[in-house]
A and B are shown apart, each in its own frame.
Chain A
Amino acid sequence: MSTLGKKRRRDLRRRRWQFLAVLLTITLGVMLFAASFDSFRNLQASYTKTYDDLDFADLTITGGDTASIAREVDEIDGVAAVETRTQVDNPIKVDSTEVLGRIIGMPVDGQPSVDKVEILEGSYLRPSEDTGVLVEKHFADYWNLDPGSSLDVLLEQGQDVSFQKVTVLGVVASAEYIWPARSRQDVLTTPDDFGVLFVPQEMAESGGGSSLNQVVVLYDAHADAEALTEEITEQANAAGADVQTQAEQPSNATLQEDVQGFGQLSYLFPLLFLTAAGLATFVLLNRIVYSERAQIGTLLANGLARRTVRRHYLGYGLIVGVTGAVLGVVLGMIAGSLVTGAYTRAISVPDTVVRFYWITPFVGISFGVLVGWLSAVAPAHGAFHVSPAEAMRGGTPTGRGKPSIVERLIPPLRHTPVRWRMTFRGIERSKRRSLSTILGVVLSLVLILASWGMLDTAQILLHRQFDEIMKEDAQVWFDTLVTDTIVEDVAGVEGVVAAEASSLLQVGVAYDDKSYTTELESFVPGTRMHDFYAPGGDEIDLASDGILVGEPMRDLIGVDEGDVVTLSFLTLEAQVKQLLADVAPDLSVKIQSKARVAGFVDEPLGTLAYVSNDELQSILGGAIKSTLEHAASGESLVGLLLQRLGRSQGDVDKLSEFVMELPNVTTVLVRYAEGANDGTMQQRLTDLDGVAAFVDVQGLFDTMQSALGLFYIFIGVMLVFGAIMAFALMFNTMSVNIAERSTELATMRASGVTAGQVARLITGENLQLTLLGIAPGLVVGWLVSSWFMSSFSSDLFSFSLQMRWTTFLYGSLAIVVTALVAQAPGLRAMRRFDIAKVVRERSQ
């Protein structure tokens, strides 16, 4: 090893704590990158493997003439497979508890060619087992359902609709329900209110749905997916069907939202850490170069090449950068595989793919080298340009002293005690170091606020959704149209203080050439079960002539207030189609109506449409009547319906009334009396006649809170990392601050100034720097957090940043405490100054 190499090694050892602080920050930064980047790639690979293994549909077409659409799509080049099936939402009864169920028809003689299921326990459906079903894993796990277990499903048997006992043949995983979302508007479900069953196609057809209502399409691996989707969508829309791409599929969309978070994390947080590490290295190396100016001057005077000097000081940054990066890559890749495994286990992804990605160590080590090089280049450049004569002269302070800015702005401060003025001017003494400290505070606050902001946003938005917007304690789902009598019965249950009828219909909202499938929820006018807030935050009422829609709808379909949209009642279309399945299986039914957009609502979860019960009746009545009249004029729909119902010709009004009474998903929203027991209330309400399912809203909120456990751990880890980063940076800048002034501080000590007084001087100065950083830190932190959260927003979640004022306060306090702790080692060193030795050194 060269002599300069030995010097560098000994310098690194002598200032080991400061270099370790830098090393730790670089390690954390690179580790965060490697862990989040690998997790992101691994999770994508895990989903892809599952999707490929199970032939996850590229396109799902619902409605229209299913069989005809399937035939046409099958003819298109690039389509690998097409399947038709029936999907209906019917109540399921497990352990005498009724929950919302999704019944999906499957062929009994073998897996379908699209949207297969993975058998985790038991076996696939068998032709001999006509009451055998497959249960999706999340639901099976929650209710302890194994092969051989039984449960009840609401099915049609002859003219009766009643719960029928079915037997579990197998527990399965499905690509469509890795995240068991009921719809894009209802992605946050829990197994105690929503479950998926894969049943024989015949059973699905008797579940209240049509014979076939869904086409699932799989593309060839090398097909032009975009062009195919465009072509099929055009055809399907023309046939009155709704199309959902794989990207829009609720489970996949939710998982992609989530996994994109890892993608975001893989550069945002590492960027913060590596910038902080760069600053800390920069400050430290500047100090080293400055304190070694005399030696550098001597070496240069003795003929050492300037580039050798530059290389020597660049070496410090590169050694720390590369060492930190290698450590970070190794730890990060280990963490990445652990996070992937924990994540896939937590949400039951069938496959866990952990791979080695060359790009991770390549980029991670490049980060380290870049940070080390960038942070060392300026100090090394400074060393390169040292003038030997000037450096060896020393003694006289360089630079001009002057009153601080604050003294110039506030002249009375010039008359404060000198020790105060000393702290004011100390800040401007080394502008680069002060700027580094301030920037460090800003970076630390950004990290803290971005992490804490996520926590606040999640908590505030959940509270907003479940406490301020959804006011009901429970939703009681009935298998018949909810009448006033039913509402009165519910209201009469002990412990219920309010009950209101409501309905939930799947609709397509179209404007110009764009459409969006969502749910239309109706309430009684002046409802006490739901509050509506305009994007500005003002509370608004349901419109008497029109609908309210979620704010994201502006961008989704380009609609504005006052515009008239076309509503397609998908649930009703399916029900009418099912009604006529035996007499006209290929009939295309379209029930549409116009509605005015009366306003927009700002809600955290989903992008729904709202309407009053009266307005819904008016819109729906018009839609049915117009559809039937239209049909009556040119087609045989009315005739078919009347024939099916055994009614007389020309009775169109009565017919539309009948259609409206079809078993829509109709609910009664309930509020409990103060202190009512959730379990007791659930029991009392599900005992009522006709109750198909029950949703405990508070329970949903609690379940979601507990589901956020992993998220809270992540936030906690980020906060700890943030504290470490802040500490490392401040420790270095503050240690350097004290080291640079050791001579004058020791002289003060020699003059009788106590160590405590000197410590207060230093603390005062450091606190001023910290406070100077806090102000912009809060602003930048808020802006970055806003941008960060908005990048998560979609029609599924509206993640506008919500931050409590206490977060700003606690974040600032945390930084102040970190600064105080970070200066403690420097102060301890000051107290241990060998005064006699230090006062004989030249000031630096």
Chain B
Amino acid sequence: MNASAPTIQLDGLTKTYGSGETEVQALKQASFTIDAGQFVVMLGPSGSGKTTMLNVIGAIEEPTSGGLHVGGVDVPGLDQKGRTEYRRREVGFIFQFYNLVPTLTAKENVQLIAEITGGDAGARAEEALASVALSDRLDHFPAQLSGGEQQRVAIARALVKDPPVLLSDEPTGALDLETGRQVLELLHRSCRDGRRSVLLVTHNSAIAGMADRVLHLRDGEVVADDVVEQPVPAGELDW
């Protein structure tokens, strides 16, 4: 378990897909730093590069050039094994479509990931599910859970490793307003003690209101970097 969230530092990060006439620059010279414990929202229209940014930070995509350091780890310099280890220790992912294993219960879905990091996986899975208020749904299979509950299981799955960085891609995209608010509240709570940074990608500008900081992306570039002086609680968001 990490003692504190690392600083995320991007230095001229570029990501290019294809080559020649089909070349697309998804990220262009992105440079910024995210301090430990920040709740950062990356906002931008479709195709602005926000998901690519998240994927590169999460080491499921490799940058074409530029530097990326997370807690002192030179992420682009990691080999395949190093990247797996990095994802295992340093980051937790939450996706729009939950991606739960349908044949495993809520607890087992979380426990599956807990097992790879060692310790009492069962207890940790229950603890993680308790933190997302799903103690009464431990033995339910995904098909028996609502969309919001499934997304909370996905959050618990990301949290069970206690990662210092939580990367969340459109976590409310498939949820209704009320459920979306609950999920956002959980994510916000997860970094409240300053030990974890949360990067949340969305195209929903309303969500930016709850962030500590908002990065605006357009055509692969960070076009604005706003600090939110008075974040509003997730429960008060409306869209």
Contacts and interface: CB of A to CB of B under 8 A. Distances in A.
Interface of A: 395-402, 417-419, 421-422, 425-426, 428-429, 743-744, 746-755, 757, 835-836, 839-843
Contact of A752 (B52, B84, B141): B84
Contacts of B85: 752
Interface of B: 51-52, 55, 58, 60-61, 80-81, 84-89, 92-93, 95-105, 108, 111-113, 115-117, 121, 141-144, 147, 150, 157-158, 161, 169, 174
Contact of A426 (B55, B103, B143, B161): B103
A418 B121 contact: yes
A751 B93 contact: yes
Contacts of B84: 749, 752-755
Contact of A399 (B88, B97, B143): B143
Nearest to B93: A750
Given A744-B99, A750-B93, A751-B161, A839 B60 contact: yes
A418 B112 contact: yes
A401 B104 contact: yes
B28 to A, nearest CB: 18
Nearest to A414: B108
Contacts of A754: 81, 84
Q: 7 tightest A-B contacts by CB?
A: A752-B88, A401-B141, A425-B103, A397-B102, A747-B99, A836-B55, A835-B60
Nearest to A839: B95
30 contacts: A395-B97, A397-B142, A399-B102, A399-B143, A401-B102, A401-B104, A401-B143, A418-B104, A418-B108, A418-B111, A418-B112, A418-B121, A421-B104, A421-B108, A425-B103, A425-B104, A747-B99, A749-B87, A751-B87, A752-B84, A752-B85, A752-B86, A753-B88, A753-B113, A755-B80, A836-B51, A840-B96, A840-B97, A841-B97, A843-B99
Contacts of B51: 836, 840
A422 B147 contact: no
B97 A752 contact: no
Contacts of A421: 104, 108
A401 B97 contact: no
A182 B130 CA distance: 88
A842 B97 contact: yes
Nearest to B83: A752
* Of listed B60, B117, B143, B161, residue having the most chain A CB within 10 A: B60
A743 B99 contact: yes
B116 A753 contact: yes
A396 B149 CA distance: 11
A397 B99 CA distance: 9
Contacts, number: 121
Contacts of B80: 755
Contact of B88 (A397, A401, A751, A843): A751
B39 to A, nearest CB: 21
Contacts of B93: 747, 750-751, 839
Contacts of A418: 104, 108, 111-112, 115, 121
B138 to A, nearest CB: 13
Contacts of B89: 752
Given A396-B150, A750-B93, A422 B55 contact: no
A757 B117 CA distance: 13
Contacts of B115: 417-419
Contacts of B174: 395
Contacts of A750: 58, 60, 87, 93
A757 B143 contact: no
B9 to A, nearest CB: 21
A744 B113 contact: no
Contact of A422 (B104, B121, B142): B104
Nearest to B169: A840
A403 to B, nearest CB: 9
Contacts of B81: 754
A754 B86 CA distance: 11
Contacts of A839: 60, 93, 95, 99
Contacts of A398: 143
Nearest to A753: B116
Nearest to A831: B80
Contacts of A843: 97-100, 102
Contacts of B116: 751-753, 757
A753 B157 CA distance: 13
A757 B116 CA distance: 9
Contacts of A836: 51-52, 55, 60-61
A743 B143 contact: no
B112 A402 contact: no
Contacts of A399: 102, 143
Contacts of A746: 99
Given A400-B144, A749-B87, A751-B87, 17 more contacts: A395-B174, A397-B143, A401-B144, A417-B115, A418-B112, A425-B103, A426-B103, A743-B97, A743-B99, A744-B102, A749-B60, A751-B88, A751-B158, A751-B161, A752-B84, A755-B84, A836-B55
A582 to B, nearest CB: 95
Nearest to A403: B105
B60 A401 contact: no
A398 B102 CA distance: 8
Contacts of A417: 115, 121
A753 B87 CA distance: 8
Contacts of B158: 751
Contact of B113 (A395, A751, A835, A842): A751
A398 B95 CA distance: 19
Contacts of B101: 422, 744
A697 B234 CA distance: 95
Nearest to A833: B60
B150 A429 contact: no
A680 B174 CA distance: 92
B60 A744 contact: no
Contacts of A841: 97
Contacts of A842: 97
A389 to B, nearest CB: 16
Given A401-B105, A422-B104, A843-B97, A748 B113 contact: yes
Contacts of A397: 100, 102, 142-143
A744 B103 CA distance: 11
Contacts of A400: 141, 143-144
A839 B95 CA distance: 7
Contacts of B169: 840
Nearest to B55: A836
Contacts of B121: 417-418
Contact of B103 (A395, A422, A748, A753): A422
A750 B51 CA distance: 14
Contacts of A419: 112, 115
Nearest to B117: A752
